[in-house]
Amino acid sequence: MYVAERIDFRERPRNFGQFLLDWGVVSAAQLLHAYSEMARTDVSLCDVLVSWGILILDDACRLQADWLDLDYIECDDLIPDPAVLNRFDPQLCLKHAALPLWQQDGCYVIATGRPDPITTADLGLPGDPHEARFVFAQEPSIQAQLADHFRAELTRAAATRVSAGESCRDWARDGRYRIGVTLLASAGAGALLLLFPDPILTALFLWACITLAIAVTMKSISFLSYLTRPDPGRHGPTPPTTLNKRPKVSILVPLFKEREVARVLVKRLQRLNYPKSALDVVLILEETDLLTRAALDGAALPGWMRIVTVPDGQPRTKPRAMNYALDFCRGDIIGIYDAEDAPDPDQIDLVAARFAQAPDDLVCLQGILDYYNADQNWLARCFTTEYATWFRVMMPGMARLGFAIPLGGTTLFFRRDVLERLGGWDAHNVTEDADLGFRLARHGYRTEMLPTTTAEEANCRIIPWIKQRSRWLKGYMVTYLVHMRSPLQLLRQMGPWKFIGFQLHFVTALSQFLLAPLLWSC
């Protein structure tokens, strides 16, 4: 029988470092080095020692339990009372790495994975916040139990985090109606074209020319804005060495059918200069993705990298997977990388420095995307030119002009509290990044381009390229229609200037895609 204790985690006769030193677990030199890292990083001593490989997680947890004079519960013995656990909010339990187990002498017994003071009020339960006793367990085991017990709730939440008014998830209910309307409209347009070919084709051609002229004007203005920008060397983020404390940063890496992820991804992320003790890299796996799971089975992942498996459900999309994994993150800053990404070594340092200086309304930083296989073939070179234009000129220019910008799918960094408040990503939108960029603007938040680059692999084969562009075009259409459900509300939220920029961006982009064959025929 485990004896849970009431304990003030802050009142210990000696600190944890001295405890480890007295027991011969670390040397004085190792402890001094660890304290040096803790002085510049907002992490615990265990985070440092585990990330350096001095301690394995199980040993670290056992030592913390001894230091706190708490019972340590093995993974196999971590079995909560369902009736007790159901009284708590699973997302708050995940946030605090706490697992309510049972009641003992009228008090809740809670397994914790962190030596921080928590109360039942922190876990969403009203009443006397001090009526709790604690035992210690590994944080991954706590998360696994919470994920298993609240599987249905967490899976449903991942698909519905965004409010219904800002999501496209309800569209499936009247899908047949929309298809019918679309077919009817297409038939009507075709009939008009057959009956009045000259005026209809002339009107379409004029509209294509007008939208093309608008697009060229916007690009020219953005280019001039980019050319007249302040010197980034004088106005960029403060060098990372001047930060008081580097925050914990969680990096979400969605994976799907990746063979070489264990070897390549770890090697590339290892190059990051950011203290590994403050990095929380979350590899997101789909439950049904046996290929990637097999590739990672037995892989020796570093202590700052872990796996979160997303339960099977609908829709099977990247944004749903990220929504699910968001609750398992430990960082105050949330970043996104793709499996093939190779970021600049100082990228996370720049992100942390910029957020430390930025006003509260700046909640998203977008890095520059580039390709490392530009010389592979002609299509790869076209992609590289397109990305260089978009990420190095157009997006910085649009941001400087005060327009809302659609986000890229990777090298994104968010303030976690705002991201959670807005509901994360729309799990039903295949261009969830662009959608989120405009949703941030609707709620009064800003995105800024950061002068740091991530290289990725260009999609340089014809069939995958067609599928990718078709998905992007579909997502752009959906995003535009979602935000235009209530144009007046959108105008009030974004303001006239950003509203105009939103219209110009989407109308010109979609018109140019749809009317390109007409221009080619001339």
Q: DSSP readout, 354-395?
A: HHHHS-TTEEEEEEEEEES-TTS-HHHHHHHHHHHHIIIIIH
| Locus of tokens 């420095």 | 353
How far is residue 137's CA from residue 75's CA, in Å, rounded to a whole number? 7
Long-range residue pairs from 483-490, CB within 8 A, at least 24 positions apart, any chain: 483/166, 483/435, 483/438, 483/439, 483/442, 485/165, 490/442
Tokens of 463: 């069939």
How many Cβ atoms sit within 10 Å of the Cβ of residue 189? Answer: 12
Beta strands in 243-320 (DSSP E): 249-254, 279-286, 305-310
pLDDT at residue 254, as a whole number = 93
- Beta strand 249-254 pairing with 279-286: parallel
pTM confidence score = 0.89
Which CATH number is correct for 216-520, 1.20.120.1690, 1.10.10.60, 3.30.70.1150, 3.90.550.10?
3.90.550.10
How far is residue 112's CA from residue 100's CA, in Å, rounded to a whole number? 9
Query: Superfamily for 16-149?
Result: Type II secretion system, protein E, N-terminal domain (3.30.300.160)
pLDDT at residue 234, as a whole number = 45
pLDDT at residue 173, as a whole number = 62
Alpha helices in 15-138 (DSSP H): 16-22, 28-40, 45-51, 57-68, 82-85, 90-95
pLDDT at residue 411, as a whole number = 93
pLDDT at residue 235, as a whole number = 45
How far is residue 170's CA from residue 168's CA, in Å, rounded to a whole number? 6
> What's the chain's Rg over C-alpha atoms?
26
Instruction: Locate the domains of the chain by residue range.
Output: 16-149, 216-520
pLDDT at residue 522, as a whole number = 64
Q: Which residues of the chain have pLDDT under 70?
A: 1-14, 126-130, 172-182, 193, 231-244, 262, 522
